[in-house]
Structure 1
Amino acid sequence: MTASPAPATLTARAQQASSRIVEDILTLVRHETGSYDLPSLATGLDLLRELTVQCLGRPDHERRHSGGACGDTLTLTYDGTGAGHVALVGHYDTVWPTGTLAGWEQPEPTEDGRERLGGPGIFDMKTGLAQGIWALRLARETGAPLPTVTFLFNGDEEIGSLSSRPVIEELAQRADVTLVLEPSAHGAVKTARKGTGIFQVTATGVESHAGLAPQDGASAITALSEFVVAAAKVAAPDRGTTINTGLFKGGSAINVVAGHATAGIDIRVGSAAEQARVDEEFDAIEVSDPRVRIDIDHAWNRPPMTLNSASVPLLDLAREVARDQDRGHLPDTAVGGASDANFVAALGLPVLCGMGAVGDGAHAQGEFIYVDTVPGQTALVAGLLGRLAEPLRG
């Protein structure tokens, strides 16, 4: 670990560059990149690469990993002058379908006059992408020793990082530390996140005519309705476990007893023990009609994230940088959402999440950022890079 660039210099440079950072944020937001729109994801990643090269020059190493049915993953590596290696991870896909931008209304300033900017994905997490790119530029401009930095931009985080997970895990194992540029929690870094399950439950019943022979049918819809009501009771909010059936479909016609139905269930857990309990209790659910078969796809997408021992020195270092930059104490927090940091933490590797935007409203029409926080968040990441020119030691 080496001495960081002068905090005042970084902060001042970030303030001076603020308008250009915000313009890059808006450039990314203006190009919509919904998780299921592959053509838009492809051009969005091209745009993100172009902005990175404009800001930092051509990378020393570059690789584009095909996502197949998902958005591609791009890694760009800029060699440093020190022995350290930092991974900066962020996703460019959003939950918003193409066309959302046209009807988006900009938020009014707050009552005390703070400027806010809104747009699909501006908070989660295009602001973090731009801030991460500019953080390396600002750190370079100080002339201080710097680590090698690898950016990883993935286009499938919002749907589970189905193709990018192995790329993320491989990079995290090569790097000394990973900083995930997801939005902050009102300025706090995120050191604990819930694990997520995306379960698909299928009910297979017996079709029959709803008027002529209803007794011959076994309704998959009725049985699956019983199942999801029972599944909701498995939730234990006091232990951090929530369960939400967000999708439900089935049947073939109004006058046919349904022979097929499916439900998509979102599960959040705070511990591996809760994950095991949910699995066991879901498998024990019974429905009233034995003619209906219930099949459960126990698809655990992300393991729970906790502040592991490897991440404690990284959090301490981030707090030192924040104090040096006159930010005061940098808080950390646990949140219910999951991110790609979950994968890194589960490997026992050092990681901090929530290094990006300050704002609110992720996945909601009102998502926004506070413009006045952009320089400070950028300077924080830049300051950390300056302290990681040599590998972090616990």
Structure 2
Amino acid sequence: MTASPAAAALTTRAQEVSPRIVDDILTLVRQETSSYDLPGLATGLDFLRELTVQRLGRPDHEHRYPGGECGDTLTLTYAGTGAGAGHVLLVGHYDTVWPTGTLAGWEQPGASEDGREKLGGPGIFDMKTGLAQGIWALKLARESGAPLPTVTFLFNGDEEIGSLSSRPVIEETAQKADVTLVLEPTAHGAVKTARKGTGIFQVTATGVEAHAGLAPQDGASAITALSEFVVAAAKVAAPDRGTTINTGLFRGGSAINVVAGQATAGVDIRVSSEAEQARVDEELDAIKVSDPRVRIDIDHAWNRPPMTLNAASAPLLALAREVAREQGRDSLPDTAVGGASDANFVAALGLPVLCGMGAVGDGAHAQGEFIYPDTVPAQTALVAGLLGHLTHPLRG
């Protein structure tokens, strides 16, 4: 499809500055920001703020929200230039799953089978490329001279561990905006309009300690009981209904010659509907272990609600596809994915949101995580083009 003149100029400019955008991406990747490294997160957020100011100038308003045991959340607002300007929220997390020090041993990926260049690094796909593209999208939209909405960037440092401190800030800020674009990576180029809800459950077994050799019969093993629970919990999963259950952490006992008095398990649960969420709660509570002396306590910590393409978001998806067509793309697919993001919170409020506006690549949370740098111009131009179409509040 042939791009319109204005859209063609925008995409051409994105192509021209692509090396600079990629440089910014790699610079952000070199700032290691593990979700559990508070000093690293603080330094990384300071750096991200300075990069934003370098590219866009000082914001009209900014606020830093202390994260406590999590990374801080920062909002930077740039006033719109159009009459009765709309308000767009761009959300991106700067924390990564990678422990500090990972960068030193990271090996760059080779080219793909078709010869396309890849760039790797801890957090490059999820989601530092999206951060840089979002900043440059506003810069390019400004350069185009078109009227623009007010744009607020929200950078949070705890998304990978559940957005424990940033969730209320995200919800409050989204309610003040007309639309939210989440700069998470794409699904092989598709935007994400449905995501699973997530539960981060902590299960504790409390048994009776005893000497493993002298009086094992007097003990009630928390480890044995919790193992029974974990096996039973796995059977509650229903992949055909989009429900998965994974026990990723298991700890217990005090010594090898002691019948374990306590054990804990961390369980990751993904559901596609509220009905499945209720079923999982009920069936996990109904699990019985063989030794009645062991007590099982379940912390039902549902972290993110399921996300679907709500009525408010459908016009936003249609607009994104219109922008893509104007820029010469044949299509802009959307898809459902198993992972959750901060978009789940916004969608649950019934507000318009699109997720997966960031990187094109693969390997999130894996040692081979990478992006295709040749997609950076098009993705940046897509967000920039959307900003130019959101001068006024979106109407369904």
Normalised by the shorter chain, which TM-score bucket? Answer: over 0.9
TM alignment of 1:176-255, pairs within 5 A? 176-255=178-257
Q: Secondary structure at the match of 1:365?
A: coil
Amino acid at match of 1:75: T
- Equivalent residue, structure 2, for 1:17: 17
Per-residue Cα deviation, 1:176-200 (whole angstroms, up to 9, x for no partner): 0000000000000000000000000
For 2:207 and 2:321, locate their aligned partners in 1 and report how far apart those are by CA, in whole Å: 57
CA positional deviation for 1:111: 2.2
Q: Is the 8 A contact 1:5 1:383 kept in 2?
A: no
- Equivalent residue, structure 1, for 2:264: 262
Q: Secondary structure at the match of 2:138?
A: helix
For 1:211 and 1:105, locate their aligned partners in 2 and report how far apart those are by CA, in whole Å: 49
The answer to whether the aligner puts 1:54 opposite 2:65 as a matched pair is no
- Equivalent residue, structure 2, for 1:381: 383
Amino acid at match of 2:391: A
- Equivalent residue, structure 2, for 1:344: 346
For 1:54 and 1:88, locate their aligned partners in 2 and report how far apart those are by CA, in whole Å: 18
- Equivalent residue, structure 2, for 1:37: 37
Which sections of structure 1, spanning at least 5 residues, go unmatched?
none
For 1:142 and 1:125, locate their aligned partners in 2 and report how far apart those are by CA, in whole Å: 26
Amino acid at match of 1:248: F
Q: Secondary structure at the match of 2:169?
A: helix
Per-residue Cα deviation, 1:341-370 (whole angstroms, up to 9, x for no partner): 000000000000000000000000000000
Amino acid at match of 1:287: V
Amino acid at match of 2:20: R
- Equivalent residue, structure 1, for 2:107: 105
Q: Is the 8 A contact 1:247 1:264 kept in 2?
A: yes
Q: Secondary structure at the match of 2:296?
A: strand
For 1:8 and 1:203, locate their aligned partners in 2 and report how far apart those are by CA, in whole Å: 62
- Equivalent residue, structure 1, for 2:285: 283
For 1:269 and 1:241, locate their aligned partners in 2 and report how far apart those are by CA, in whole Å: 5
For 2:175 and 2:385, locate their aligned partners in 1 and report how far apart those are by CA, in whole Å: 23
Aligned residue pairs: how many? 391
For 1:252 and 1:393, locate their aligned partners in 2 and report how far apart those are by CA, in whole Å: 60
Q: Is the 8 A contact 1:303 1:346 kept in 2?
A: yes
Q: Secondary structure at the match of 2:391?
A: coil
Q: Secondary structure at the match of 1:274?
A: helix
CA positional deviation for 1:6: 1.2
TM alignment of 1:289-304, pairs within 5 A? 289-304=291-306
For 2:154 and 2:172, locate their aligned partners in 1 and report how far apart those are by CA, in whole Å: 11
CA positional deviation for 1:5: 8.6
For 2:329 and 2:8, locate their aligned partners in 1 and report how far apart those are by CA, in whole Å: 12
CA positional deviation for 1:110: 1.3
Q: Secondary structure at the match of 2:321?
A: helix
The answer to whether the aligner puts 1:66 opposite 2:66 as a matched pair is yes
Q: Secondary structure at the match of 2:318?
A: helix
The answer to whether the aligner puts 1:124 opposite 2:126 as a matched pair is yes
Which sections of structure 2, spanning at least 5 residues, go unmatched?
none
Amino acid at match of 2:364: A
Q: Is the 8 A contact 1:314 1:352 kept in 2?
A: yes
Q: Secondary structure at the match of 2:228?
A: helix
- Equivalent residue, structure 2, for 1:142: 144
Output the TM-score relative to the length of structure 1: 0.99
CA positional deviation for 1:81: 1.3
TM alignment of 1:145-164, pairs within 5 A? 145-164=147-166
For 1:17 and 1:170, locate their aligned partners in 2 and report how far apart those are by CA, in whole Å: 34
Q: Secondary structure at the match of 1:6?
A: helix
Amino acid at match of 2:287: I
Q: Secondary structure at the match of 2:367?
A: coil
Moved over 4 A (4+): none
- Equivalent residue, structure 1, for 2:334: 332
- Equivalent residue, structure 2, for 1:27: 27
